[in-house]
Chains A and B, each alone.
Chain A
Amino acid sequence: MRVLSYLVAFLWLVALLSLFTVVKVEDLMRALTDPEVLYALTLSLVTSFISTLLVMTFAFPIAYELSRGSSALEPLLSLPNAMPPVAVGATLLLFFSKTPIGAALNSVIHAVFSVPGIIIAQSTVSFPLALKPLKSAFKEIDEDLILAIKSHGCYGLCLLSKLFKGVKSQFKSASLLVYSRSLAEFGASVTLAGAIRFKTETLPIAIYLNLESGDVAKVISLITISAVLALVVLTLSVGWELDKG
């Protein structure tokens, strides 16, 4: 089993490292400091952070409700994660551009072909990822304990704030999962927010645009940044899991 995991990791590492054989080091270094690359990096970090805040704010109370038995809505809430991201993006695009309610909302939040659209797309796609671990964590809390806390007149926000410490490690893991998924989000973002250079250009969108225009050095620099970011997030996540264990 161990040999197999080393083999898969090795193959993936070979694929990643082989990228550096198709570009000169000086071209790569120049690309890493290119304004377009830095813009994509900044936009990705900021939008993913806002999306994570939004997702965790809503997912926390919703996961609590789902853990207490009212799970009829769960398939609907988890749908964006099971649908093709491009279908999620297209749904959002049509909603915001073709329906009266969506158009009214769009006139306020400017979702279509702009930065808020990226945040909406990232949040929609990554939201279900937060639900499952949080729901499982809440399920582990004894039903009688919750009743006892309520008996002290503590419910709603008070109850959730008391329970937070009990699910803190799962909350942190879920936040990292949402953040890494938001960083990687492409299909829904490109459909709703478009692929506009120096406007809606996140890291995955920048890879797509530069691959189309044939700028290999820039593509590899963007892939390198994406891989390093993902590795940092995943290592943190594994570290927290080990702490918990």
Chain B
Amino acid sequence: MIKVKDLVYGYKDLSFGPLSFEVNGTLAITGPNGSGKSSLLRALMGGIRSHGIIEVDGKIIQKGKKGLKPEKRPMVYVPQREPAIPFLTVEENLSLAGNIDEDLLEELGIKKYMKVKVSKLSGGLRKRVGIAMALVSKKKVVLLDEPLSGIDPESRKTLIDIIIKRTRGKDVLWVTHFDEVVRALDKALRLQPVKSSLS
């Protein structure tokens, strides 16, 4: 379970929040461009300046401005632009994340690309590699930033099912613009450019 209290985050000239919410399961994060969705994931990871309280399963990982370093947080992160390391092969990427799960690779349709460098793959396949990395990780919290953008509509439903099935028992924060994702997840948090509200 994740508890976020009074989290203000952002950059030198742009800040978001304060934001408070709890996640016990899956949460869709939605909102217009510039509402701080991707920045929220970065802040939870400790990648940008923020202050507030972040708690995971009763353990405080950030209080005020001080928090655990990104590598020590119990969270795995799939960014929007580069979901996997482009200059490594699919296999090298997955080895970094955890044990290679052949069934999962089959389900995601990336098994035949194991020896291929990620930069040679299409945008959609890169997303699948990023998703696979998050799903084989042992971390308790999964942060996904638009993992289905660039994926064809027919495959989207399958991938939503795979992600939900494979993250059971974990907490998932999923930035998305797709209504089908919002409907499939437990709760939704809609962010606004200035203030935010929990639905």
Contacts and interface: CB of A to CB of B under 8 A. Distances in A.
Interface string B35-76: 000100010010100000000000000000000011101011
Nearest to B138: A153
B133 interface: yes
B79 interface: yes
A166 B86 CA distance: 8
Contacts of B130: 148
A148 B79 contact: yes
A172 to B, nearest CB: 14
A205 to B, nearest CB: 41
Q: Which of A142, A152, A155, A166 gathers the greatest number of chain B CB atoms within 10 Å?
A: A152
B97 interface: yes
A145 B96 contact: no
B71 A155 contact: yes
Given A152-B96, A152-B137, A162-B96, A144 B85 contact: no
Interface string A141-173: 011110111111111000000100110100000
A151 B87 contact: no
A154 B78 CA distance: 14
Interface of B: 38, 42, 45, 47, 69-71, 73, 75-83, 85-88, 96-98, 130, 133, 137, 139, 143, 145
B79 A145 contact: yes
Interface of A: 142-145, 147-155, 162, 165-166, 168
Nearest to B74: A151
B96 A166 contact: no
Given A149-B85, A151-B75, 5 more contacts: A144-B80, A147-B42, A148-B79, A155-B69, A162-B85
A166 B85 CA distance: 9
B78 A148 contact: yes
B70 A151 contact: yes
Q: Which of A143, A148, A149, A165 gathers the greatest number of chain B CB atoms within 10 Å?
A: A148
Contacts of A147: 42, 45, 47, 70, 77, 79
Contact of B81 (A142, A149, A168): A142
A166 B75 contact: no
A171 to B, nearest CB: 12
Nearest to A168: B87
Contact of B71 (A143, A144, A151, A165): A151
Contacts of B98: 152
Q: Which of A149, A151, A155, A165 gathers the greatest number of chain B CB atoms within 10 Å?
A: A151
A155 B96 CA distance: 11
A155 B46 CA distance: 14
Q: 3 closest Cβ contacts across the A-B interface?
A: A144-B79, A151-B77, A145-B82
B74 to A, nearest CB: 10
A150 B71 contact: yes
B176 to A, nearest CB: 17
Contacts of A149: 85, 96
A165 B87 contact: yes
B61 to A, nearest CB: 13
B85 to A, nearest CB: 6
Given A165-B87, A165-B88, A166-B87, A151 B81 contact: no
Contacts of A165: 87-88
Given A155-B71, A162-B96, A148 B88 contact: no
Contacts of B145: 144
A144 B146 CA distance: 13
